[in-house]
Structures are given as C-alpha cells and as structure tokens.
Homo-oligomer: A and B are copies of this chain.
Amino acid sequence: MPSKSHQRTRSDHASEVAEDYVEAIADAIAAQGVCRSMDLVAHFQVTHATVNNTVARMQRDGLVTTAPYQPISLTAKGKRMAAKARQRHEIVKAFLRYLGVSETTATVDSEGMEHHVSDETLRAMKRALTEGIPTLRDVP
C-alpha cells in the first residue's frame, strides 16, 4: 500500500517559510524594538523584493501588520505562531545537543527539522531531555 498522508504540498512549504519569518521578526523585535525589511534581508540572505513579497503574503494571511515604509509587527496570530516555532526550534536544538551533535550542526539541522516534528515527537524529545530515554533506563 502506498504511504499516504504525503500531503506535504506547496501549502505546507509556504507555511514553513511563514514560520521562519515570524520567528525572525520576533527575534528582531526582541533585539532592536522593531523589525525592518532589511533585518529579514540580512537574516534570510534574499533580496528586499523577495522579503516584500513574502511579507505581503503574510499580511494577507493575517500574520503581520505593516504599512509602506513602516516597520513590520506581528499580529496576535503571528505572535502565537512565532512562540510555537521558537519553542519547537529550541527543543529540537537542545535535543540534538543532548544527542551529542555539535553546536553548529544542531543549529542548522534544527532549523530544517522543526517544521516536520509533530507534537508527539516533540513531547518525546522533551521527555528524553528531562527524564532520559525510558527504554534505555529500563534495560540496564
């Protein structure tokens, strides 16, 4: 039987980008009070035009608010998404470090992996971080 639930289509890819953006926007606001397009240009290494497009789409989707020549801020929805993404990102990264992966690799891999980690897997990682891995301890 075919694997099914391969519904990781374009819409999923789109929301991955949005997740990365809300996270970066929250970071910029935390660090400097506001987020300007140039912050995102620097962060994602894309052109201003690309950032503009993406931010416009995010505004259309109710994740950010912005006006011409004004800074970008997060809506409540955007903030919620950022908080979730951040938490997810941090747990995955901490878990990789716990696994013995280097700081650099953990940073890169966690950025890619965070969008594909379900709540269940996230809980399993959190559990491993706080309690160790049950199957390991139960068979000493």
Residue among A45, A113, A136 facing the most chain B CB atoms (10 A cut-off): A113
Chain A, 96-140, contact with B by CB distance < 8 Å: what is the 0/1 string?
A: 101111100111110111011110110011011000111111000
A interface, over-half SS: helix
Contact yes or no, A3 B111, CB < 8 A: yes
Contact yes or no, B98 A135, CB < 8 A: yes
Q: How far is the CA of A121 from the CA of B60 in the complex (A)?
A: 37
Q: Is A5 an interface residue (CB 8 A)?
A: yes
| Among listed A6-14, A51-59, A64-72, A78-86, interface-contacting one | A6-14
Q: How far is the CA of A115 from the CA of B112 in the complex (A)?
A: 8
From B100, B112, B128, give the contact of A134 (CB < 8 A): B100
Q: 3 shortest A-B CB distances, which residue pairs?
A: A112-B116, A2-B43, A99-B124
